[in-house]
Amino acid sequence: MSMSIAPTETITSLSLIPDVDERSSVHSVDEVDLLKASCVVQQKPISITLDGTAVFIVSLGVVLAIHFLDSYLAEAVVCLIPVALLVHNDYHNFLNLGPGGTPSTIQGYIRITYLRMLTLRDPFTAPLPDPSRDPKTGVLAGKHLPYRAGPRPVVAGIAPQRQLDQHGSRQCYIALRQAMERLSAKNLHKFGTERSCLEKHGLALFARHPLQTNCQGEIAHVHDSDHSMHMCLHPNDIKEILQKGWGQRHPLAWKNRFIQMPVSQDFVMVYAPRDDMELEIVGKIINAAIWYTLAEDVDINAK
């Protein structure tokens, strides 16, 4: 008898771990340990393979259940087995996304399962600007962003939300972290870096006196595992990055008068930069996030 169940597959890439001499002095031991635990995740749908013997045993089991059990109980058993397999696979998909804003526990999985019913139907349409909020307009339309090369990456999850392919380069990831740390060190009265308030993992850039108060002034954070980023942008800038293929809205980034969403409607994922050109573009998008948070024109100089 041969029976195999193929759930998710997790591949750990050691190339994502920076060498000791590439870390800045402000990196803590906890951050290094977190980087060592980071991985690239591939999530696959469940598949079950049965050979002839397995098919016979399963068929015999179904016949015996129908014969000896009450019909309703037999029907319930037959229906619940594939449901249990699907839930088991889905739970491991959730765990394999890695650490994020939701605890990697049964309770966290139940919460995410509930939130799936509230997700955006179209994450590629920008929200409408709020005329009562400052700044009144975005800045990316004047930057002449190029279109991102190739198709969009595959993205999965809610909290965490992760990019499953087209992962950014290790050098670009380190450059993003160092750029945020440099900006903070040079402007201590305006900026700071710390673990993300939203993700509870990953380095984030904070504004000390934000105009938009998004989770204690968080401007943007970068993910250790896939090297993508989350940030808040002006709706005009969201439209620009959606049209040019540089990111997408978070599944819960919408507003409802009856339900309080865990993130604001201007919360977006920006795909991981794969080379120096894309790193420069992502730097401009971070500048737009700083503009939206502070209404100040600041250059993070990611390259």
pLDDT the model gives residue 56: 81
Give the pLDDT means over successive 10-residue stretches in the chain (303 positions): 44 40 43 44 59 77 79 79 81 84 88 89 92 91 93 92 90 95 94 90 92 85 93 96 96 84 91 96 96 92 76
pLDDT the model gives residue 52: 76
pLDDT the model gives residue 27: 45
Residue 189 lies in a domain: yes
Residues 60 and 176 in one domain: no
Residues 174 and 276 in one domain: yes
Last residue of a domain, which of 65, 93, 115?
Answer: 115
**135: preceding bond cis by omega (within 30 degrees):** yes
Residue 207 lies in a domain: yes
Residue type at position 160: P
Contact 198, 261 (CB under 8 A): no
Q: Which residues contact 195 (CB under 8 A, 6 or more apart)?
A: 201, 202, 203, 204
Range of the domain at 80: 3-115
Question: Using CA of residue 236, residue 241, residue 244, residue 245, what is the dihedral sign?
Answer: negative
Which helix or strand (DSSP H or E) is residue 286 part of? helix 276-294
Distance CA 139, CA 18 (A): 33
Residues 128 and 247 in one domain: yes
Residue 299 lies in a domain: no
Last residue of a domain, which of 70, 94, 115?
Answer: 115
Per-residue pLDDT tens digits for 89-110: 888 888 888 887 788 889 999 9
**pTM value surpassing 0.95:** no
The total of structural domains in the chain comes to 2
Residue 256 lies in a domain: yes
> Phi first, then psi: what are they for 177, rounded to 5°?
-60, -45
Residues 20 and 62 in one domain: yes
Q: Please count the residues of the chain.
A: 303
Last residue of a domain, which of 115, 135, 170?
Answer: 115
Residues 80 and 169 in one domain: no
DSSP 216-248: TTEEEEE-TTT--EEEE--HHHHHHHHHHTSEE
pLDDT the model gives residue 88: 81
Residues 163 and 287 in one domain: yes
Residues 251 and 138 in one domain: yes
Residues 166 and 261 in one domain: yes
pLDDT the model gives residue 9: 46
Residues 175 and 38 in one domain: no
Residues 23 and 137 in one domain: no
Residue 301 lies in a domain: no
Residue 300 lies in a domain: no
Residue 43 lies in a domain: yes
Residues 51 and 75 in one domain: yes
Residues 31 and 180 in one domain: no
pLDDT the model gives residue 23: 43
pLDDT the model gives residue 47: 61
Instruction: Output the CA angle 35-38-42, nearest 5 degrees.
Output: 160
Residue 239 lies in a domain: yes
